[in-house]
Amino acid sequence: MSALLAVHKLAIGYGGTALLSDISLSIGPGDWWGIVGPNGAGKTTFVKTLLGIIPPLGGRIERRAGLSFGYVPQRGVIDDIFPLPALDVVVMGRYPRIGPCRRVTRADRELALRYMERVGIAHLARKPFRSLSGGQKQRTLIARGLAPEPDVLVLDEPTDGMDIAGEAGIMELISDLHRGSGLTILMISHSLNLVANHAKQLMLIHGDEGVFRTGMTDELLNGETLKDVYRLSVDVHSFGGRKFLFAHGSSEPRAER
């Protein structure tokens, strides 16, 4: 199969309760998917099911033989109680490649350091991870996601809680990675403006409404579809080659969950 990953009639959810079902999708090499939807829509559940963290409730996922993932979780999931230098966190990305009962080699550490250089934090290699700023932690986790040299990099809210400079830096970095090595990207984000200006493909998810739509970002990201998903009027404007989205009030009351 030419796709890296194909999903057929997939049902996702927790504890036997389906959040979304009948999902079919194909992800190819060099794709950049933005995954958007309201809070609790099922974005993270979908991604975790793709990654094998949560078992699917139905359907099947076909992965190309030897397909590898790099995963960048929300930075808050890393417990600050662990006394680990940033480099050791990045080297962990190599562990699955090294395999059990084998030691980390100098080559693994050098590779991890190269990825820290790539994301601009090589100078922080010896600093405790827990003492880093939010943006530095995020870059460390991106370097860890890259360390296994994956086919697909999956990022969950990589710019969450960042200031505008941090956000721009992270998005520029992801764009460079995508352009430079053709890395396939799947990125969950709440920022429609970021997704509109970076992602080529789009997944719109809203579990409560049974919405799962996919398509090219330019075609799918319009006022009409966003109204279906967010129950909100959103204007999409283009200026200087960039898209800007403005929300202006709820168009109809949202059902209580």
Residues that bind other proteins (CB under 8 A): 15, 48, 51-53, 68-71, 73, 77-79, 81-85, 88-89, 92-93, 95-96, 98, 100-101, 104, 128, 144-145, 148, 154
Nearest to 173 by CA among 188, 185, 160, 191: 185
Residue 94 or 196 having the CB closest to other proteins? 94
Q: Are 137 and 55 in contact (CB under 8 A)?
A: no
Burial of 256 (0-12, 13-18, 19+ CB in 10 A): exposed
CA distance 17 to 185: 28
Amino acid, single-letter form, for residue 42: G
Smallest gap, in angstroms, from Cβ of residue 37 to other proteins?
20
Smallest gap, in angstroms, from Cβ of residue 127 to other proteins?
9
Q: Are 220 and 213 in contact (CB under 8 A)?
A: yes
Residue 98 or 211 having the CB closest to other proteins? 98
Run of H or E residues at 92: none
Residue 2 or 17 having the CB closest to other proteins? 17
Smallest gap, in angstroms, from Cβ of residue 121 to other proteins?
17
Smallest gap, in angstroms, from Cβ of residue 128 to other proteins?
4
Residue 139 or 144 having the CB closest to other proteins? 144
Q: Are 58 and 18 in contact (CB under 8 A)?
A: yes
| Strand partners for 232 | 250
CA distance 185 to 37: 17
CA distance 122 to 37: 35
Phi, psi torsion values for 57, nearest 5 degrees? -90, -15
Joined together, the tokens standing for residue 110 give: 């050098």
Residue 156 or 167 having the CB closest to other proteins? 156
CA dihedral of residues 2, 62, 70, 196 (deg, nearest 10): 70
Residue 18 or 236 having the CB closest to other proteins? 18
Residue 76 or 215 having the CB closest to other proteins? 76
CA distance 1 to 92: 31
